[in-house]
Amino acid sequence: MMKKSIYAVFDIGKTNKKLILFDEDRQIIDENQHICTDSIDDDGFVCDHLPRLTQWVQDHWQQLRHHPHYTVKGVNFTAYGASFVHLDAEGQPMLPLYNYLKPMPEEVMQRFYSMLGQAPEDFAAETCSPQLGMLNSGMQLYWLKHTKPELFARIHTSLHLPQYLSYLISGEKFSDYTSVGCHTNLWDFERGQYHDWVRREGIEEKLAPLTKDSIASVVDGIMVGVGLHDSSAAVMPYLAETDEPFVLVSTGTWSVTINPFNSQPLTPELLKRDSLSFLTPGGQPMRAARVFLGREHDYQVDRIAKHFHVKPDFYRSLVLARPYDEASASFQPACMAGTGPFPDRPAAEWDITGFRTASDAYQHLMHGLINLLLESIHLVWQGEKIIYVDGGFARNPLFMQTLSWNFPGAEIRTLEVPQATALGALVHLEQGEAWKKTQLLFT
């Protein structure tokens, strides 16, 4: 029996770890999920269990290599950001996979900014990195150097998590622009290189060489990807879908608007309004902005349902949006203080007692949410004629209708992409240099 040619993607999220198999037409043919139990780091803070994650990846890779029905053509990796795996001189992990929610000691932050010699807001603009503690993954290396110097001295190479997964199979150590460019404090976006402090503190020598190629190595005829940050991976299927400029509004608990075609530098004001820049796999900046839309929606829906004594999913039966009226201007968000396009606006209690029905209140809620989202979109939008929407709100007809009314000159599209992050990693793999050179082997 002839074996089926497939591609594999390890998609490692904070909660869910998945191995997804695609056929040659990019259709999902199998999915394996792993619930990885937590561990405790050397300070007693909860973290991912790196040895078990490593074993799970290696075991499944060996099973795929010897699968009776599949021939693996390529494998790639995508994982959450702000995560480093620290390798010793023998190439073995020597420290826990520290959690990006781990608190950063205040004295470390004070020492860092006094060493910098520039205002924190200017540094944040240069590195497109709001002050986020350990979520700025470069700070993890600084913290190790100044609080655990003996361990820091033993680190030979620090790999971001996607590149560590690639290293497990390829044996090659690389850094990737998408991981380096996701609010790490490491990259100087204005100069297109590591920030001066990275060299000054001896951090750069711990980092693997940066590559723009998507393929780390070809192992026994199988292309092994370098891996990429999950947020950047999620944009790749849309880039593959059209040659025209677009923005992507990715909706969920946070709604993140990403414009791969906007490479304008950030300002301290834009950073304050929850606008960020990431790096593409080729090292080019792309701007994004976020707003706590899904969380606000669910909070207000719960209030409406309780006030009008209806089921929590009452709004799912609504299919036609009402035109905007002045009553919608009274909407006040309760969950967005300190975030989004209006970070200085305090949390407030939106008065829903004046509405006659739950449906009436929800129509006004949708206009109020869209008004906030529009402010966020306009931080990155440059007049692009295509706006993609994915995630939960893409299946909300009121949301889609109301959004389209606000962009009469643009086409609002949805591209139902199951496992968009994993598919993006596959699309990225297909763009590698080794792929182009070995294409004839596969025909």
Which candidate, 372, 306, 304, 360, places its Cα nearest to that of 333?
372
For the CA atoms of 41, 58, 80, 30, the dihedral, rounded to the nearest 10 degrees, stands at -140
pLDDT in tens, 328-358: 788 999 999 999 999 999 999 999 999 999 9
pLDDT tens digits, one per residue of 271-287 = 999 999 999 999 999 99
Q: What are phi and psi of 242, to 5 degrees?
A: -145, 150
Kindly write down the DSSP assignment for every residue of 62-96, as one continuous string: HHHHT-SSEEEEEEEEEE-SS-EEEE-TTS-B-S-
Task: With cut-offs at 50, 70 and 90, classify the pLDDT of residue 252.
Answer: confident
**Residue 91 falls in which region: left (phi positive, over 0), alpha (psi -120 to 50) or beta:** left
Whether 439 shows a pLDDT value over 90: the answer reads: no
Strands (E), 13-132: 17-22, 28-34, 38-40, 46-48, 70-79, 84-87
> Average pLDDT in the 55-61 region?
96
What's the CA gap between 207 and 226, in Å, rounded?
15
Assign 140 to helix, strand or coil: helix
CA distances from 347 to 10, 293, 304, 368, 375 (A): 40, 14, 18, 14, 18
What is the C-alpha R_g of the chain? Answer: 23
Handedness of CA 319, 324, 325, 326 (dihedral sign): positive
Within 10 angstroms of residue 381's Cβ, the number of other Cβ atoms is: 19
The average confidence (pLDDT) of the chain is 93
Encoded amino acid at 24, one letter: E
Asked if pLDDT for residue 15 goes beyond 90, the answer is no
Q: How confident is the model at residue 443 (pLDDT cuts 50, 70, 90)?
A: very low
Instruction: Give the sign of the dihedral formed by CA 408, CA 292, CA 258, CA 382.
Output: positive
User: Rounded to whole angstroms, how far apart are CA atoms 290 and 132?
Assistant: 15
Q: Which residue has the higher pLDDT, 436 or 441?
A: 436
